Structure 1
Amino acid sequence: MTPAPRLPEAADEGPSAEVLRARRGGRLSTLDRLLLHSPPVAEGWNALLGALRGGTTLPADLRELVVLRVAVLNDAAFEWAAHEPIGRRAGLVDLQLRVLRLPDARAEPVWTPVQAAVLAFTDASTRAVAVPDEVFAAVRAHLDDRQVVELVALVAGYAMVSRFLVALEVPPPDGEVAG
């Protein structure tokens, strides 16, 4: 039996539910149904996460590397389960996915230079919030201004997602969560 989250799921009807459903390809997740307790929060969340997932210029492998690493660092099983298949499609391989679960994943020689820089940034921002100058400079060597903003927002956005999921004890889905 799958454990239930700390709150009951809200009704999945109404305009806010339809906005979420449109981005998700017609299906709502447990996460969506919890967010629907506050329609303005659900709609704002949907807009932000939709932009982070589909409106950035960051390559898909970097985007999913960030999401999966934040999931590991914040112990967000839902986030990992929802994004692992997406990460695979984005080009992350079994070895990289295993290494992402290690405490010092960036020390392993399985990353491209830009992946290693993004991973170091994700670790610093998630663990300590403040990002050391040398970590920022390494990212800056690979990403343009827009991509740096997108990276910072992606790390922060998925930290928000993981904290929501963990605080409400949302159980992992049975695979990828669309959209």
Structure 2
Amino acid sequence: MTPRIEPAARPYEADMEKTLERLMPPGVEPLVLFRTLARNPRVFRRFMAGGLLDKGTLTLREREIAIDRACARCGGEYEWGVHIAFFADKVGFGEEEIAATVAAGTDASCWTPRERLILRLVDQLHETSNVNDDLWGQLKAEFSDEQLLELVVLTGLYHMVSFTVNALRLPLEPYAARFPD
């Protein structure tokens, strides 16, 4: 796949070089997504300011379930694959969980009831851009208001990321996971 906008190439501006370096593990080239957005430093900085990969109110596993499901529902294989590559082991995802983030339905046996609620939330937001009262009541019984805000915003952010990587037709990172068959 040929990207619609070529990623920025070295040498980057000094402050952009430092920023890109901080985002990646040592020795790993900045993501194509980051290098492409770096073509517009203002957009890149605003994009990065909207991230929620810091320590929030959810566990890393819960955050990754929401992120991976949102990307999968949008067909955002690029971002889904990067997250699986960097975080699946850290959050204890095996093959079943990885496949279940992409599969239809939320009843895979690998998920706890709490995790299924996250999947149902992401699916309902994706399908309706809203959350019905029944699901909201179930979510309120399990999650704090702070956690619900984080889940809804996280889902929206990764819809935006998926829209971006899909519209720009970014090539998949060589080390990233691919959607299961």
- Please give the TM-score of this superposition, normalised by the length of structure 2: 0.86
Give 1:101's aligned amino acid.
V
**SS of the residue 1:22 aligns to:** helix
C-alpha distance after superposition, 1:50-97 (max 9, x if no partner): xx1113121111111111111211111111210113123212221121
- Identity across aligned pairs (percent)? 24
Tell me by how many angstroms 1:176 deviates: 5.2
Q: Deviations over 1:98-141 (max 9, x none)?
A: 1222222x133331111010110011112221111122222222
Instruction: Give distance in 1, aligned partners of 2:23 and 2:101.
Output: 28
Matched, 1:94 2:85: no
> Which segment drifts farther, 69-78 or 19-28?
19-28
Q: CA deviation at 1:163?
A: 0.5
Aligned structure 1 segments of 4 or more residues deviating by more than 3 angstroms: none
Q: Does the 8 Å CA contact 1:66/1:122 hold for their aligned counterparts?
A: yes
Q: Distance in 1 between matches of 2:39 and 2:127?
A: 30
> Which deviates more, 161-170 or 6-15?
6-15
| Cross-structure match for 1:7 | 5
After TM superposition, list the pairs within 5 Å mapping 1:1-179 onto structure 2: 3-12=1-10, 13-14=12-13, 15-25=15-25, 27-49=29-51, 52-85=52-85, 86-104=87-105, 106-175=106-175
Q: Which amino acid aligns with 1:4?
A: T
Contact 2:62 2:118 in 1 (8 A): yes
Equivalences, count: 172
Indicate how the Cα distance of structure 1 residues 127 and 88 shifts in structure 2: closer, same or farther if over 3 A, else same. farther
| Alpha-carbon contact 1:6-1:169 (below 8 Å) kept | yes
Q: What secondary structure, in the 3-state scheme, does the structure 2 residue paired with 1:42 have? A: helix
> TM-score of the superposition, structure 1-length normalised?
0.87
